[in-house]
Amino acid sequence: METTRLIIVAVGGQGNLLASKVLGEAALISDVPIRMSEIHGMAQRGGVVESAIVFGDATSSIISDGEADILLGFEPSETLRALSRCNKGTKVITNTATLPPFTVSIGKGVYPEVENIKELLKAKCASLVAIDAMKLAKEAGSPMSVNIVLLGALVQSGSLGFTKENVIEAIKRRTKKSFLDKNLKAFELGFEAAQNYK
Amino acid sequence: MHKLLNDSPGEKIMLLGNEAIARGAIEAGVAFATTYPGTPSSEISLNLFQMSQESDFYFEYSTNEKVALEVAAAAANSGLRTFCMMKHVGLNVAADPLMTLAYVGVTGGMVILTADDPAMFSSQNEQDNRYYAKFGNLPMLEPSSVPEAKEMIKYAFDLSEQLSQPVLLRTTTRINHSNAFVTFGDMKPMETKGKFIREPSRCVTVPAVARQLHAKLLGKMDKAKGLSEISDLNPIEGSGKFGIIVNGVSFYYAKDAVKDLGIEGNTKVLRLGFSNPMPEKLIKDFVKDCEKVLVIEEGEPFMEEAVKAFAQEAGVMIPISGKSEALFSRLSEYDPAMVREKIAVFFGINYTPKTKLDTADVPEIPMRPPNLCSGCSHRATFYEVKQAGKDMDIICPTDIGCYTLGFLPPLNMGDFVICMGSSVSTSCGFGKATDQKVVSFIGDSTFFHSGITGLVNAVFNNHNFTLVILENDITAMTGHQPHPGVDMERFGLDGFGRVNIEDLVRTLGVKHVSIVKPFKVKKSIEIIREALEYKGVSVIISQEPCALYAKSLKLLKPRAFKVSDKCVDHRDCINTIACPSFYLEDGKVKIDADTCVGCAVCAQICPENAITPLKK
């Protein structure tokens, strides 16, 4: 099976690791080989959290700079920072809702314009899907579902080799029962938004 | 039931490396487990701690790694299958018992896990603990993947029993923190009650005994070498004139690279999973019919130097390389593209890597450094110490925990840190070596770990400094593990003792002890000032639970504050305490009500009293 390398970047607390676990479960259901690597510890105190997920036959569990086939960014400036992981064939999916770093919040740094971020990503990579996942998560009933909205967009546009139904089953198995309805709605909204993105 | 306790052989499940290792220990019938938490090992012990509450095996969070290893050494000499796990630098703390336990050996299987951290994702150094195996004469196993880690710990117990010797299992962060599919195996029944058989000629290491034991140990290592020579853990894949010798996660990077470079037909790869003692004959035979050999290992040239020595003895004069300017570094961790490139360079293979993007026109992206949490009591304590000592020339030795982040601006409270507990003892040295005022910081768990002996030293040698013990009721940094000062009823557990830090400090002979509640700013500054002026050893205990932990226990009900119209934009709040709940909107300071927990420290320092509770 062909290898697909996915990098997910997020800010601590955005639920990146849960999204990775859902993808892992979906891969298990779909019988797709997968290896994932994540960064814990000090990095979690408000820093960047990164997951690397390798689908298919390659045996390594991390992804080198320039070698991501898909980049999923939970926060636009972090998506841009992760450009070093991409090449001109990389598909990029990003949230457009910003979480400015504290340095910016207190006026000690300038946050790039989101439109500029989108233009750069589009110009340098193979394709771009940019959606306001926070808005859609709120529409689904919980700002906590940003991760699942983005998962929907990823599954629609990422060609990961498993079906939407299997990802929905994985969401059912891996996320909290009390959040299930909101998460399923969030997933659909993300999927649709990616489908309709121009 | 805990998911790792399911007696369901054949079940395939996605597990974190650390979960797989914990499961492997259960499948091996582990009866006794001890640890001090430390990234990247912490989830192994966390899972064992949880499982021990619904199983028969014994688990404890020990006060430090030396204690953990000694507790475990007794269990392993009572015939029990015993597992002791720690991060790499933890093994330095446990090195004293380790070296002589190797002489004494064990009667039950004993596995000591060291979780190394190449690239230092959350560590103060990237030491290569394979040298402990060589130094102490311990057989060592190193997995290359998550599923293999689970299988390897089971073999490690068998091997330990076969040799009557503790076995070192060495992982790296990319094993501990990777996820992969793992298939559950059978669970060996646990034997949880041991018996110690008196055997002074083996267990009492006076010189006359130890001399005998050292000779016996070398004999055991000879036997281990024989096993390493024929071990399935040291497989050779492929055949050809290009030789690669590799360990750990680099094995899979090399495997992918050989395929990507199309050199499968003329390359053979020896993976060393049983890497101490090294299989000398296997390696000599391997290098004999190679034209060139590349050794791929993160960290130090542990295998490379041995391979070169074996080749010399075998009279093999081919190029053997690993660490060099043109090839591999001793720094950081490796990655698949780097390994591919170095293999291509060494064997002279034409290869064009994927073109990286030109990012010259990408605007500067603001950094996102880690920060103390909103409502973290450490921030309040740092601010208060700074205020209390603002007219003094202060040095701040600090220690290992979340509060190490206090060294960042604008707090700037942290000048020296080398290892767990060093805040206290280095304060002794700074106090004598300089005329500067010394104020040091240590967390409660770290104080129990290795701060106490430094404080005894300070009292005995009449040192001059102020120690601030940050008592937040938990081991916060590594994910909220208990420590000896914690009320275990909060974990729903009874039958535990509890050590009161204030009583302990007074008993050690510290004459000036004060308690502050850091969210009472003015009062705390007054108390701290008095402690700073004291000549001799003074201790301040700053008591406030970790905000994250208190929230998770629902002990803390967040009550957000807001900035009112009275604000005239001094920005003392942002500029001096820099809580991450602040942000600027149209040039005005605002507070994010979703993250503010209501510690009210900013409200107490605002000169205009402009920060007030947000009324619902």
Dump the DSSP string for B73-106. Answer: HHHHTTT--EEEEEEHHHHHHTHHHHHHHHHH--
Range of the domain at A141: 4-196
Would you call B354 and A67 a contact, using CB atoms and an 8 Å cutoff?
Answer: yes
B424: region left, alpha or beta (phi > 0 left; psi from -120 to 50 alpha): alpha
B356 occurs within a structural domain: no
**Which tokens go with B302?**
């542990």
Nearest residue of chain A to residue B478 (CA atoms): A41
- What residues have CB less than 8 Å from B426, skipping those under 6 apart? B397, B416, B418, B440
Would you call B337 and A88 a contact, using CB atoms and an 8 Å cutoff?
Answer: no
Which residues on A lie below 8 Å from B337 (Cβ)?
Answer: 64-67
pLDDT surpassing 80 at residue A135? yes
Residue A159's pLDDT band (boundaries 50, 70, 90)?
confident
Which residues on A lie below 8 Å from B365 (Cβ)?
Answer: 77, 80-81, 112
The number of C-beta contacts closer than 8 angstroms across A and B is: 172
pLDDT surpassing 70 at residue A42? no
**Which tokens go with B125?**
């150094």
pLDDT surpassing 70 at residue A44? no
- Give residue B501's Cα distance to chain centre: 24
What total number of domains does chain B contain? 4
**% of chain A with per-residue pLDDT over 70:** 96
Residue A40: the pLDDT is 58
Range of the domain at B53: 3-229
Same domain, B312 and B186: no
β-partners of residue B376 are none
| Closest CA–CA distance from residue B158 to any residue of chain A (Å) | 28
H or E element in which residue B174 lies: helix B173-176
Measured CA to CA in angstroms, residue B492 lies from A47, A137, B2, B481 at distances of: 32, 35, 16, 13
B369 occurs within a structural domain: no
Which of A34, A36, A106 shows the shortest C-beta gap to B584? A106
Mutate to test the interface with A, among B46, B146, B253, B368 (most CBs of A within 10 A): B368
| Closest CA–CA distance from residue A158 to any residue of chain B (Å) | 20
| Residue with token string 């602040």 | B582
Same domain, B498 and B399: yes
Which residues on B lie below 8 Å from A43 (Cβ)?
Answer: 121-122, 370
Which residues on A lie below 8 Å from B15 (Cβ)?
Answer: none
B17 occurs within a structural domain: yes
What does R_g of chain B's alpha carbons equal in angstroms? 27
Report the distance separating Cα A8 and Cα A38, nearest Å. Answer: 10
Would you call A48 and B180 a contact, using CB atoms and an 8 Å cutoff?
Answer: no
**What are the tens digits of pLDDT across the range A78-87?**
999 999 999 9
- What residues have CB less than 8 Å from B448, skipping those under 6 apart? B63, B64, B483, B484, B485, B499
DSSP B366-435: PP----PPTT-HHHHHHHHHHHHTTTS-EE-B--SSGGGGGGSTTT----B--STTHHHHHHHHHHHH-S
Report the distance separating Cα A70 and Cα A91, nearest Å. Answer: 5
Same domain, B78 and B195: yes
Would you call B368 and A36 a contact, using CB atoms and an 8 Å cutoff?
Answer: no
| Closest CA–CA distance from residue B10 to any residue of chain A (Å) | 14
Same domain, B75 and B221: yes
Same domain, B83 and B53: yes
State whether residue B566 is helix, strand or coil.
Answer: coil
The reply to whether A132 touches chain B by the CB within 8 Å rule is: no
Report the distance separating Cα B38 and Cα B211, nearest Å. Answer: 35
B13 occurs within a structural domain: yes
What total number of domains does chain A contain? 1
The reply to whether A104 touches chain B by the CB within 8 Å rule is: yes
Mutate to test the interface with B, among A71, A90, A106, A110 (most CBs of B within 10 A): A106
**Which tokens go with A69?**
């086939």
B370 occurs within a structural domain: no
- What residues have CB less than 8 Å from B44, skipping those under 6 apart? B18, B19, B21, B22, B25, B35, B85, B113, B115, B176
pLDDT surpassing 70 at residue A43? no
Same domain, B297 and B210: no
The reply to whether A84 touches chain B by the CB within 8 Å rule is: yes
Report the distance separating Cα B14 and Cα B2, nearest Å. Answer: 15
**What are the tens digits of pLDDT across the range B552-574?**
899 888 999 999 999 999 999 99
The reply to whether A114 touches chain B by the CB within 8 Å rule is: no
Same domain, B566 and B542: no
Would you call B580 and A105 a contact, using CB atoms and an 8 Å cutoff?
Answer: yes
| Dihedral (CA of B260, B261, B264, B269) sign | negative
Would you call B366 and A101 a contact, using CB atoms and an 8 Å cutoff?
Answer: yes
A162-191 residues touching B, CB cutoff 8 A: none
The domain boundary, picked from B206, B229, B252, lies at B229
Pick out chain B residues at pLDDT < 50.
none
Report the distance separating Cα A130 and Cα A132, nearest Å. Answer: 7
Q: Give which of A44, A82, A91 is closest to A63, Cα–Cα.
A: A82
pTM: 0.97
Q: CATH no. for residue B398? A: 3.40.50.970
- Backbone dihedral angles phi then psi of residue B554, each to the nearest 5 degrees: 60, 25
Q: CATH no. for residue A15? A: 3.40.920.10
Same domain, B306 and B386: no
Which residues on B lie below 8 Å from A45 (Cβ)?
Answer: 370-373, 402, 405
**What are the tens digits of pLDDT across the range B438-471?**
999 999 999 999 999 999 999 999 999 999 999 9
The reply to whether A150 touches chain B by the CB within 8 Å rule is: no
Nearest residue of chain A to residue B12 (CA atoms): A28
Q: CATH no. for residue B270? A: 3.40.50.920
Same domain, B20 and B104: yes
Residue B601: the pLDDT is 97
State whether residue A148 is helix, strand or coil.
Answer: helix
B372 occurs within a structural domain: no
The domain boundary, picked from B229, B251, B275, lies at B229
Mutate to test the interface with A, among B12, B14, B126 (most CBs of A within 10 A): B14
CB contact at 8 A, B379 and B408: no
B359 occurs within a structural domain: no
Nearest residue of chain B to residue A43 (CA atoms): B370
Same domain, B501 and B573: no
Mean pLDDT of A118-129: 97
Same domain, B468 and B431: yes
Same domain, B67 and B195: yes
B324 occurs within a structural domain: yes
| Closest CA–CA distance from residue B413 to any residue of chain A (Å) | 18
